[in-house]
Amino acid sequence: MEVVIVPDATAGGELIAEAIASLLSRKPDALLGVATGSTPLPIYRALAAKVPAGAVDASRARICQLDEYVGLPAGHPESYRSVVLREVVEPLGLSEASFMGPDGSAEDVQAACEAYDRALAEAGGVDLQLLGIGTDGHIGFNEPCSSLASRTRIKTLTEQTRVDNARFFDDDIDQVPHHVITQGIGTILDSRHPILLATGEGKAEAVAQTVEGPVASIVPASALQLHPHATVVVDEAAASKLKLADYFRATYAAKPAWQGL
């Protein structure tokens, strides 16, 4: 696991956008897994700014969802399909044909989960998977004590996660669904390069447990330690509880430029 400490969220977004641009230059039809929420927005803004500037050609890129609420009506503005289309697909000038995600309104949710897991594999696998982290250490919606071998499936949200997400629903927790479809931890680990971005002091404990703690289902993100090419990008606030912060800074500063992120 590589840990990169950046000054702030803007710097983290730019760094990761550069990594995506580099990937697309090597593989123009790369499958990019995207996360929702406020944390990855600097990535999407930085990446979208590169398109008109000619710094990246995203015209053949493919986009896939990490997770989706269960039960929101089609077209609901806070369904993750709507959010990804609004924040990623449209700003990159892509069409819906380039986008794939699980069907959260399916009559048979379990079948929809299995179908999405198959679709990711049939698409050649996810080349780069963006991740955020919850204050309890969850990635995607793999809440604490999720199986580290889990595949795409339905999950019940914890009360804390529903409280955290109420801000997207007019601060009304009653509007936040209780269930989601999420890529499982095993599915996430199938991606060729998972990149986790964490910003703010509120994520510091979860980051420390993820990076320096044991691999344990109580901190689902700690499973990234098992991946041969996982990157954790954190701002100074989110890095504030890392015991090895100075080591991480030194190793990144000495990293050969040709290695990239």
Judge whether 138 counts as a catalytic residue. Answer: yes
Known active-site residue 143:
yes
- Note the Cα 146 to chain centre separation in Å: 17
In sequence order, what are the residues at sequence separation of 6 or more whose Cβ sits closer than 8 angstroms to the Cβ of residue 35? 66, 130, 131, 132, 140
Instruction: For residue 136, indicate whether it is catalytic.
Output: yes
Residue type, 28: P
Among the options 117, 136, 164, 190, which is catalytic? 136
CB 133 within 8 A of CB 206: yes
Q: Are 184 and 177 in contact (CB under 8 A)?
A: no
**Per the structure block, which two tokens stand in for 146?**
């999720």
List 87, 117, 127, 143, catalytic entry: 143
For residue 75, what are its two tokens? 């077209």
Per the annotation, the verdict on 67 as an active-site residue is yes
| Catalytic, out of 67, 68, 87, 164 | 67
Among 68, 138, 164, 193, the one annotated catalytic: 138
**Rounded Cα gap, residues 30 and 28, in angstroms:** 6
Residues with Cβ < 8 Å from 17, sequence gap 6 or more? Answer: 43, 46, 47, 50
Give me the active site residues, please.
67, 136, 138, 143
